[in-house]
Amino acid sequence: MIVVTFAMGEESKDFLPLLEHRRERTPDGRHDLPVVEGTFGGVPLTVVHLGVGAASAEQRLKASGVFDGPTKPRLLLCPGYGGGLAPQLAHADLLLVENFSDPALLERAAALVAGPGVHRGRLTSEMVIIESAADKAALAAKTGTVCVDMETAAVAGLCAEAGVPMLAFRVISDDAQTTLPVPGYLLWDLETQKPPLGKLLWHLATHPSAIGGLLRMLESLPEVRQRLTKTIQTLVPAL
């Protein structure tokens, strides 16, 4: 069995319909972030939605029970969206994460997905959403990494404890030159694990110039999600 993790349903919504014999369970009652079991290309899969941030990722991966059975997963894939920190990573490019991936899995994946817009490099997992191009540049200089997310380090820690090899990869949703159109806390509330819609709408009402940028950001996500889904489709049968 292979485990595949996503932070949000936004990232998984193109992949989940591809599963056969699909069934869902909600170990902690969160129907918006289910554990989904099924098969893809004959390979048994368990998809775990982690939520955003290290605390949610750790709690939900533990609650899923994927590491608790008598038979451990063969491997865990940790895909998702990421913020670019290096100028060579363009929107919708794919990054194979070197510092949180099993070396053998990384080499096999690199051979399978080689092509334009594919990179290898180090990732940092942070506690907050990195909003501005200036903050991204500062984080890159501080950490020596090329991409940022919020969950991969927590997932890697649990995989190491369980003795399960992991492959992490990210598709760039906002590149190093991009400043988010609204503050990060208005995009996602880490405590409720939902967008704070009331606060977001108030911000847009009082900052109407942000509306266009937010719409462009949302319109760019299908391309990112398609790249992510295609990568998973390539890797699962081969790994």
pLDDT of residue 27: 80
pLDDT of residue 177: 95
pLDDT tens digit string along 13-59? 999 999 999 999 888 777 778 899 999 999 999 999 999 999 999 99
Q: Is residue 71 part of a domain?
A: yes
Q: Does the pLDDT at position 71 exceed 90? A: no
pLDDT of residue 69: 80
Mean pLDDT of the chain: 94
Which are the contacts of 167, defined by CB distance < 8 A and separation ≥ 6?
Answer: 75, 76, 77, 78, 96, 101, 102, 105, 106, 109, 235, 239
Q: Is residue 189 part of a domain?
A: no
Range of the domain at 15: 2-179+222-238
Q: Who has greater pLDDT, 68 or 94?
A: 94
Q: Is residue 191 part of a domain?
A: no
pLDDT of residue 34: 85
pLDDT of residue 33: 80
Q: Is residue 45 part of a domain?
A: yes
pLDDT tens digit string along 81-106? 999 999 999 999 999 999 999 999 99
Q: Does the pLDDT at position 67 exceed 80? A: yes
Per-residue b or e along 117-138, where b marks 16 or more CB atoms closer than 10 Å to that residue's CB: ebbbbbbbbbeebbbebebbee
- The model's pTM: 0.93
CATH number, position 74 = 3.40.50.1580
Q: Is residue 158 part of a domain?
A: yes
Q: Is residue 190 part of a domain?
A: no
pLDDT tens digit string along 157-200? 999 999 999 999 999 999 999 999 999 999 999 888 889 999 99
Q: Does the pLDDT at position 136 exceed 80? A: yes
pLDDT of residue 215: 95
Q: Is residue 205 part of a domain?
A: no
Residue 152 falls in which region: left (phi positive, over 0), alpha (psi -120 to 50) or beta: alpha
Q: Is residue 150 part of a domain?
A: yes
pLDDT of residue 80: 97
pLDDT of residue 26: 84
Indicate the number of domains in the chain: 1
